[in-house]
Structure 1
Amino acid sequence: MYKKMIVFLDGKPLPVIIRNYTKQDYAGMIALQQESFPPPYPEELLWNEEQLAKHLDHFPAGALCVETEGRIIGSMTGLIVNLDDYGHSHTWETITDNGYIRNHNPEGDTLYVADLCVSPAFRKAGIGKWLMQSMYETVVFLNLKRLLGAGRMPGYHIHAESLTPKQYLEKAVLGELRDPVLTFLLRCGRMPIGVASNYLDDEESLGNAALMEWRNPFLEQPEA
């Protein structure tokens, strides 16, 4: 994938390129991760060069980045799986092979999102939405059934004493509370299909994540 476009940051046009990342981008990708996921996010969950190399070995079409003026300001990584092999009770480590995606299955039906991050300085420019749109295009191009991924619930720890993870997700869907990740995914067209417990070692989410799906509209059948 390679596309040039203009986004707007604080009302000013910003030329960007969305493309597949390469070996030359490793340092920029790792710097982006460090900037995007500061503590208490576990440092061991940030990409390393070996993982990035495996992404390119197994599924380069699912390795996307956003560049402006030679700087990597966003990235998104996915792999193809057969959802029936994992169901809805999987963990991040299981379904992404601890981030190495050696379990990528070219014959699968689902593009699974392993990671999405955007530099904090550029989050008001719609970079995350354009990455998501680009991955939707990949789903359509490869004739897959869906895009699926689990969204962190970073606001959940604030409400944990009064709400279950499922109730928290329901309130986010109804707009009764705003979660920075879940609300973003809803605005991108993702739909919730459940909650995964013990999905990721994430203090803010207390280990929970919302499974959020986007179905290929060219394969989707209307309900009877």
Structure 2
Amino acid sequence: MDSAQLKEVYKIGIAAALALVSLCLVLLPSIMGIIQKPYTHTAALWIFFLSLPVAILLLIYAYYFAAFTQARVPIASTGVGNIAAFIAIVSLGVFLFGNILSDRTSPPRITSLSASSYTPCPGSTISLTAEAQDDDGDDLRWRWEVQPDERLRRRGARGAELTSTLRSAQWHVPNEAAAGRYTVVVTASDPHRSSSAQSIELDLAAARPDAAEDSSTAPCED
């Protein structure tokens, strides 16, 4: 292969590398629009921003000599430009696919769970509230359950699944609910994964025999 043919090969290779990094730059706004905040793998994005201008400048410099002059193609500039272009493309790919996959691999995490009363009475209404963190910023759906302990289950007590899919729920304690230990269990889920279940315990006291059946503040035994 003579020098003219070699120069043509260099020119085609440089043009291809320059086209790829330019395409990455053009597609960057669309890529950022696909990904939901907060971003993960941000180090890869910084590497992309640092390597991209190096690649573009060196490849333009090398292409100028390959396409518009009779001078020898600057091999060093071409090599460094190609390496910088490769790093830019790979780092952008890592950022894009890392963020897309994080939606499927990063479950929500429940950070707090509380109740308006931890010693409710039969006939009362308990407000339950939870907070969760999701790295991908997805909308979360919640699942609430109230479960009696083993002793109460042996006596026929049943649990309840609360209807709320929000981060708060209410348990309307049945008037006939047996006194004892109940566990509130909550999970949060995004479109791909669910959090680990979190729970708190409530000690349901017995209502006095003379308490009004429909009272939401029925007095309990000491």
Q: Into which bin does the TM-score normalised by the smaller protein fall?
A: under 0.3
User: Taking structure 1 as the reference length, what is the TM-score of the superposition?
Assistant: 0.23
Structure with a larger share of its residues in strand: 1
* Larger proportion of helix: 2
TM-score (norm 2): 0.23
